[in-house]
Amino acid sequence: MQVAVELKHVSKSYRRFARLRQFKTLKGAAVRDLWRRPPIPDEDKFNVALKDVSLNVKPGVTSGIIGLNASGKSTLLRVIAGITKPTSGSVTANGKISTLLEIGAGFHPEISGRENVYINGAILGLSKSQIREQFDEIVAFAELEKFIDYPVKTYSSGMFMRLGFSVAVNVDPDILLIDEVLAVGDAVFAQKCYDKMYDYKRRGKTIIIVSHDLGAIRRLCDEVAWLHQGELMEYGDTTRVVSKYMQEVTESELARYAREHDESVESMASAGAKAVEQEPKLPYKAAAPSRPVEPAQRWGSREIEITAVVMRNEEGQERYVFNCGDTVFIEIAYVAHKRIEKPVFGIGIFRTDGTWCYGTNTMIDQLNLESADGEGRIVMRLDRLALLSASYYLDVAAHAENDHPYDYLNRLFTFAVRSDRPEMGVFRPDHKWILDV
Amino acid sequence: MKDSIVSIYNHRALVQALVARELKARYRSSLLGFLWSFLNPLLLMAVYATVFTIFLRFGMPKYASFLLTGLLPWIWFASSINEATVSIVSGGNLIKKVMFPAEVLPLVSVLTNLVHYLLSLVILIPFLALNGAPEAKDVLGSAMGDVTASNPVWLVVSFVLLMLIQLIFTYGLALALSALTVHLRDIQHIVVNLMTLWFFASPIIYPVMQLSSKQVPQILKSLAIDYNPMAYLIIAHHKIFLCRIAPSFAELVVMLAASLVILFLGYLIFEKFRDSFAEEV
């Protein structure tokens, strides 16, 4: 057996409208006939999910499928599983296929976990005697010995997922197709799920995994297929394809953040125009917000006006996506409409969930500015942006030493930090591990 | 067609598990549990018997026996069709997420209700024994009055065949309706109301000669009797249970052939739409 799964020029398009005269309801059909609207042009009738995909998966190989949302990943799995037929092209699979596309398919809440194991097993293609043989193992894996005779509706969602996962992984297929349900439950159970996958790998099963979790893809997969808008961009060695994909994603993200920044600059201008009529709002030194504040707020008396905020990387290029540890410059351009003594400039960094990650100003840092008059520019250099992977808001402010705000830009700017390490928390302190033997 | 039969046979464990699921789930968490399978037909019969012996009188002796005999197979049929019509739409996650032979879903609806029907027979037979049956001339009209009772073994055999015929017919219709509903959801609402009309058009609450004796237009009469498969089935039930007359061999063959034609047509419609289920549900 040379191939486990072979796809030859597979294309798949979905109808956007129901097949029966493209109307979902009789009413729709009647209305259409009454008004004799022009028919929908052919190209609008279909969503193309897969375009001419050819792929050979060798037996015993674990393959990952990656790509942005709506790139055709799930469709590809369904076509391989035979759940849907390709519009054109052919699919061959050698061996018994099992799918893990949904946890607990066919579970009925009213009946006991025990009975549901049998039903779910039958749905997944196990015979009664096969389930009976593996029953204890399934229940032990799910750690539900005490609850197996209670109705499933009394289970917590974690228990439900564990039971569904246990049945599914105890089906013994040649080819296992997984859609985003690699691991369920708490950290301990998730590790068991991964161990089960490694076990499958050891036993020479062919596994195809769709996931957005690139870390898991890296750990599990030998080869990776990258889909983009239904087309197969790359198929091959995991490290190579994943890093190519990451590069592509980062570039498109860069473009997005640059666009958002431009929009912020525009809204900064319009927010500024409004602020003139408004009373100066709260003094800015309010307590740290515990939840995200509406973005795009600006206040202050405007003796000093912030005219531009730009973030740059070490090479001085404008950037809004950084890697953890990058050197970052935050450039604040301002105009002082009259001479201002002892101005203070500050920044604040907030995670989008509202966590205040860092805040400082020139006074705290004991950079005592004498005065500001006319146009000027102040730059803050962060030697190492030690924040972990997330999206952030940047606050920028100019105010007096007594906290009187001249210009406060609240949540107007966003940037993102990417990291290839799955660390937890807010920031990465400088650290190393020392083995003490 | 052969593939489909093989597929259903191969998935018999699945069919069995799903029927068991439906049966177990239906009365789970209710105080009386499975007793409801017996209580439901009893209560229903009590309701109909009250209505048709007190408010609307047909003047037939032992009317309750007549009513129950026709009502039970009808309930099997009607509940199966109503449930099967939406079976594929509501089984969407199975169709979409698991490799699942879709024809199993309407079959599960039909078989689940068959089990309820079999259980309700446990009520029917003692009830007929206790309450007694109306005379054959009241049930079938005077023309049929003097036929002698059939051999009990043939009576049982023909009843089993009759159930098989109804199973085939119901499943055929269920296949077509379940597949069409996926594409045109309106059908489920139409079906529910058509079933009510069909119920009153079939000789369940009134004996069949009621139609011939009254001023009923000929076309409606033939629609209700001659072209109504359920009328044949229900009259056959009346004959077996009330008059102890087995349907003739020829009658059974014709009914079987007709139900197989319906099954085949239903299968063709189902096959035509099968590939689109995973996309449309």
**A127 shares a domain with A67:** no
Min Cα separation A237/chain B (Å)? 29
Same domain, A143 and A184: no
- Predicted local distance difference test score (pLDDT) of residue A403: 81
DSSP A279-300: PP-S-S-PPPPSSPPPSSEEES
pLDDT at B57 over 80: no
> Residue A32 has what pLDDT?
53
Is the pLDDT at B52 greater than 70? The verdict is: yes
Assess whether A132 and A177 both reside in one domain: no
Tell which of B27, B98, B272, B281 to mutate to test the A interface (max A CBs under 10 Å).
Answer: B98
In a domain, A255, yes or no: no
CB of A123 within 8 Å of a chain B CB? The answer is yes
User: Is B28 part of the contact surface with chain A (CB cutoff 8 Å)?
Assistant: yes
Residue in chain B nearest A17 by alpha carbon: B280
Task: Identify the closest residue of chain A to B18 by CA–CA distance.
Answer: A119
Cβ-defined contact of B18 to A106 (cutoff 8 Å): yes
CA of A175 to nearest chain B CA: how many angstroms apart?
13
Q: Are the beta carbons of A106 and B16 separated by less than 8 Å?
A: no
Mean pLDDT of B268-273: 91
Each residue's pLDDT tens digit, B129-188: 888 888 777 777 655 555 677 788 888 999 999 999 999 999 999 999 999 999 888 899
Residues A90 and A139 in one domain: no
Q: Does A18 touch chain B (CB under 8 A)?
A: yes
Pick the residue with more confidence: A279 or B280?
A: B280
A127 touches chain B (CB under 8 A): yes
Q: Residue B18 and residue A18: Cβ atoms within 8 Å?
A: no
Place of tokens 């029907």: B117
Interchain CB distance below 8 Å, A124 and B184? no
Closest-CA distance of chain B to residue A24, Å? 6
Q: How many residues does chain B have?
A: 281
- pLDDT score for B258: 94
Q: Answer yes or no: do A27 and A131 share one domain.
A: no
- Over residues B239-246, mean pLDDT: 87
Is the same domain home to A57 and A198? yes
Best mutation target, A31, A123, A181, to test chain B (most B CBs within 10 A): A123
Q: Does residue A101 belong to the interface with chain B, where contact is any CB pair within 8 Å? A: yes
B62: nearest Cα among B75, B45, B37, B78: B45
For residue A117, the enclosing domain spans 104-168
**Angle formed at CA B102 by CA B99 and CA B107, multiple of 5 degrees:** 135
Interhelix angle B36-50/B104-131, nearest 10 degrees: 60
Q: State the pTM of this model.
A: 0.70
B100, B273, B275: residue with CB nearest A85: B275
A119:B28 CB<8 A? no
Q: Is A15 on the interface with B (CB under 8 A)?
A: yes
b/e sequence B190-203, b meaning 16+ C-beta within 10 Å: ebeeebeebbebbb
CA distances from A153 to A145, A310, A353 (A): 16, 54, 33
User: CATH number, domain at A410?
Assistant: 2.70.50.60
Q: Is B275 on the interface with A (CB under 8 A)?
A: yes
Cβ within 8 Å, pair B28-A151 = yes
pLDDT classification of B93: cutoffs 50, 70, 90: confident
Of chain B residues 70-129, which have a CB less than 8 A from chain A?
93-100
pLDDT reading at B37 higher than 80: no
Nearest to B266 by CA among B78, B8, B1: B1
pLDDT in tens, B109-136: 999 999 989 988 888 888 888 888 887 7
- What is the residue type of A79? V
Look at residue A290 in the predicted model and tell me its pLDDT.
Answer: 35
A31, A46, A111: best to mutate for the B interface, most B CBs within 10 A: A111
Q: Calculate ∠ Cα A61-B99-B178, nearest 5°.
A: 160
Per the structure, how many domains does chain B have? 1
Do residues A205 and A142 both lie within one domain?
no
Residues A178 and A163 in one domain: no
Burial label for A370, CB within 10 Å (0-12, 13-18, 19+), is: exposed
Q: Quick check: helix, strand or coil at residue B208?
A: coil
What average pLDDT does the segment B227-249 reach? 89
What local confidence, expressed as pLDDT, does residue A285 receive? 33
Same domain for A395 and A365: yes
Q: How far is A265 from chain B (nearest CA, A)?
A: 44
Predicted pLDDT of residue A279: 35
Nearest to B99 among A14, A26, A99 (CB): A99
B184 touching A (Cβ < 8 Å) = yes
Contact list in A for residue B280 (CB cut-off 8 A) is: 18-19
Q: Are A92 and A54 in contact (CB under 8 A)?
A: no
Q: Which domain holds residue B80?
A: 2-280
| B16: chain A residues, CB-CB within 8 Å | 122
Asked if A63 has any chain B CB less than 8 Å from its own CB, the reply is no
Contacts of B88 in chain A (CB under 8 A): none
CB contact under 8 A, A119 and B276: no
Show residues of chain A in contact with B275, CB under 8 Å.
84-85
Residues facing A47 on adjacent strands: A14
Q: Do A97 and B99 make contact, defined as CB atoms within 8 angstroms?
A: yes
B8: phi then psi, degrees, rounded to nearest 5: -65, -40
Judgement on whether residues A347 and A414 belong to the same structural domain of the protein = yes
Domain boundary among A151, A168, A185: A168
**Residue A83: its chain B contacts at CB < 8 A?**
95-100, 278
On whether both A192 and A333 belong to a single domain, the answer is no
Mean pLDDT of B11-35: 81
pLDDT at site A40: 58
Can you give the pLDDT at residue B219? 77
The Cα-based distances of A251 to A62, A246, B120 in angstroms read 28, 8, 68
Rg, chain A, Cα only = 29
Rounded to a whole number, what is the distance in angstroms from the first to the last CA of chain A?
Answer: 50
ipTM computed for the complex: 0.75
Instruction: Output the tens digit of pLDDT for each of chain A's 437 residues.
Output: 578 888 888 888 877 655 444 555 555 555 555 455 555 555 566 778 888 889 888 888 999 999 888 888 888 988 898 888 888 888 988 888 888 887 877 788 888 888 888 888 888 878 888 888 889 988 998 888 889 988 888 988 888 888 888 888 887 788 888 888 777 777 788 888 888 888 888 888 899 999 888 878 888 888 999 998 888 988 988 888 888 887 777 777 767 777 777 777 666 666 544 443 333 333 333 333 333 334 457 788 888 999 888 899 888 888 888 888 889 999 999 999 989 999 999 999 998 887 889 999 999 998 888 888 888 999 999 999 999 988 888 999 999 888 888 888 887 788 888 887 888 889 999 899 998 87
- Out of B14, B25, B185, whose CB is closest to A108? B25
Distance to chain B for A126, nearest Cα, Å: 8
Question: Is A232 found in the same domain as A196?
Answer: yes
**Chain B contact for A30 (CB, 8 A cutoff):** no
Give yes or no for B271 touching A (CB within 8 A): no
| Number of structural domains chain A divides into | 3
The DSSP element (H or E) to which A263 belongs, if any, is helix A238-275
> Which CATH number is A185's domain given?
3.40.50.300
- β-partners of residue A225 are A65, A235
Nearest to B280 among A18, A82, A83 (CB): A18
Nearest-Cα distance to chain A for B9, in Å, is 13
